[in-house]
Amino acid sequence: MPKDTYVPCLLDLFRQNGYDGATLSKISEATGLGRASLYHHFPGGKDEMVGAVLDYLQRRLEQHILQGMDGEEEPLVKLQRMCDRTALTYDNGNRACLLATLLLGSARDVFQVRVQALLEAWRDAIAAVLIEAGLDPQTAQERAEDALISIQGALVLSQGLKKPSPFQRVLQKLPQELCRNVRQCEQQALP
């Protein structure tokens, strides 16, 4: 059985239970593998499992969510596609974000560097589109961070209020919001 079969399964487990809450019993049950088999694949234990999940998330971010962000299309088109894929990734607001989960548990420090790298890659890809669209680098980076703030905050609030509408509302407005006052997106300029 190839790793990629149960890494998504691990992703789900760690996302739903956090690092401390994802016990080997739960992992064993969810993957169908016995304890010893888990240690055969991941000699480093849970830390190595999370590492594999983060590898997987990095590939997903680069090859799915951010795919095409360096292409020739209009900024608004690229950002719209990124938002659509983000919505899919988080099941329209019904799924938490593993990065946030890892940041808020006791293993925070262990994974801080890798989580930070993923967030920065995401932010920088958005900022690059905005710079290419004519924004100055400083504003572009702040606006890209604002986008991640909206996404992460909306996920937290949707979990907390037990309804996906905050996430959906945010994601729906996000592309236009990112492109405000930008060259190619001034379809509705002031009269």
Partner DNA sequence: GTCTATAAAAAGATAGAC
Partner DNA sequence: GTCTATCTTTTTATAGAC
Q: Which residues in this chain contact DNA in the complex, by CB under 7 A?
A: 1, 22-25, 32-37, 39-41, 43, 45-46
Tokens of 56: 């997987």
Residue 42 or 167 with smaller CB distance to DNA:
42
Binding site residues, a copy of itself, CB under 8 A? 16-22, 96, 99-101, 103-108, 112, 115-116, 119-120, 142, 145-146, 148-154, 156-157, 159-162, 166, 169-170
Q: How far is the CB of 170 from a copy of itself (least distance, A)?
A: 6
Q: Which does 80 bind (CB under 5 to 8 A by kind): a copy of itself, DNA, none?
A: none
Q: How far is the CB of 6 from DNA (least distance, A)?
A: 9
Q: How far is the CB of 11 from a copy of itself (least distance, A)?
A: 14
DSSP conformation letters of 125-157: HHHHHHHHTT--HHHHHHHHHHHHHHHHHHHHH
Find where tokens 């890892």 sit: 102
Tokens of 53: 């999940």
Residue 40 or 108 with smaller CB distance to a copy of itself:
108
Q: How far apart are CA 151 and CA 97, in angstroms?
A: 10
Residue 39 CB-half CA count within 13 A = 4
* Angle between helices 75-89 and 165-178 in degrees, nearest 10: 160
Amino acid at 64: H
Q: How far is the CB of 123 from a copy of itself (least distance, A)?
A: 8
Q: Which does 175 bind (CB under 5 to 8 A by kind): DNA, a copy of itself, none?
A: none
